[in-house]
Amino acid sequence: MNRWLTVIGIGDDGPAGLNAQARRLVDEAEVLVGGARHLAMVPADGRERLAWATPLEAQIDQLIRMRGRRVCVLATGDPMWHGIGAMLAKHIPPAEMLVLPAPSAYSLAAARLGWPLAEVDAISLHGRPVDLVSAFLQPSRRIIALSEDGSTPAKAAALLLRRGYGQSRMTVLAHMGGPREEMRTAIAAEWGDDSVAALNTIAIECQGEADTPLLPTVPGLPDVAFAHDGQLTKREVRAATLAALVPVPGQLLWDVGAGSGAVAIEWMRAHRDCRALAIEQRHDRLALIEANAAALGTPDLKIIAGSAPAALAGLAAPDAIFIGGGATTEGVFEACWSALKPRGRLVANVVTLQGERAVLGWHERVGGTLTCFSIERASAIGRFLAWHPFRPVVQFQATKP
């Protein structure tokens, strides 16, 4: 089929910055599609125009119904990098669509600052919580983030200050590549509440305070990183648990009996494309999970209020399941094992004799491995130190055939 749809990246300099091929495709299009800002770049000439509205997904079907006509979508920069092109590619075969990218905001910002783009964390805050930045906060790390609007830089500066990174250097670049291009640089703690142009990109050179704790990207965050009521998988066991679950980009975890949400959060921190559902029946713990997810950079964690196995009905099939609570509840294992995808991993941690009896029965039914963790930490007894043992944790893990 002919490529009836073209998606053209356009810079802040408008059509003047397009190459000959892109300019020809814009001129020959029967229908122009884009945001109000993009459509305003092309003088009115009587052609049909479709301006994106909210929610954007509702107009995808309208666009698809134009198949067979010459349709041109105008987008900012590189449409395939956090842009409309990536969304359209989920609905329209590549053989029907031609994408002509312009330099992305990431490329332009890196070029202005002299940053090697391959060494930068490129994220989007457009339509997403600013808390996402928290997942990337480490000394000397560089972040380039697309803004939602002119208020985003101030929100990012406030977040950096809350997380102990108020000394980070922030550069906000607005209208890059156009006649109104401007750049502003300041320390996050001194940024203030001033808004900037709505079309802006934030570049951050992370610098933590001397006492800001380091939060690794590998599993095993310090226990103090989480707000909890005592229901927390301890650091050493949590690291081993995540290793057994095997976080893989794009895969989905069920954290059943999530407690503080620590395992689900660490699963998502392993890679930005890891997804998780935290299932918890106690309403007082739901707020803890939400607060921990925001503080540790995983605000996209989906929280399911309810008790397993009933709360599991209708959820997307998981690639891995962690049972941190409710292992002895009738029907939980059966529901989890049935929902698990082939080659999916199931891990359950128990601390009671009844829990041990339950996982021993599962082991006899489906195989897998059993491991016992005995953790002791040194603590003070007067002016001396002695080992303080935690309850042994028995871990069951199995892979579904």
User: pLDDT tens digits, the chain, 401 residues: what are they?
Assistant: 589 999 999 999 999 999 999 999 999 999 999 999 999 999 999 999 999 988 787 789 899 999 999 999 999 999 999 999 999 999 999 999 999 999 999 999 999 999 999 999 999 999 899 999 999 999 999 999 999 999 999 999 999 999 999 999 999 999 999 999 999 999 999 998 777 999 999 999 999 998 999 998 899 999 999 999 888 888 999 999 999 999 999 999 999 999 999 999 999 999 999 999 999 999 999 999 999 999 999 999 999 999 999 999 999 999 999 999 899 999 999 999 999 999 999 999 999 999 999 999 999 999 999 999 999 999 999 999 999 999 999 999 999 99
CATH architecture of 106-205: 2-Layer Sandwich (3.30)
What CA–CA distance (Å, rounded) separates 351 from 334? 20
Q: Look at the domain 5-102 and name its fold.
A: Cobalt-precorrin-4 Transmethylase; domain 1 (3.40.1010)
Residue 56 confidence (pLDDT): 81
Chain centre to alpha carbon of residue 303: 14
Extents of the domains making up the chain: 5-102, 106-205, 223-399
Contacts of 326 (CB under 8 A, 6+ apart): 256, 257, 281, 307, 308, 332
Report the CATH number of the 223-399 domain: 3.40.50.150
What's the rounded Cα separation, in Å, for the pair 131 and 156?
8
**Cβ contact 255:278 at 8 Å:** yes
Task: Enter the tokens of residue 389.
Answer: 């043992």
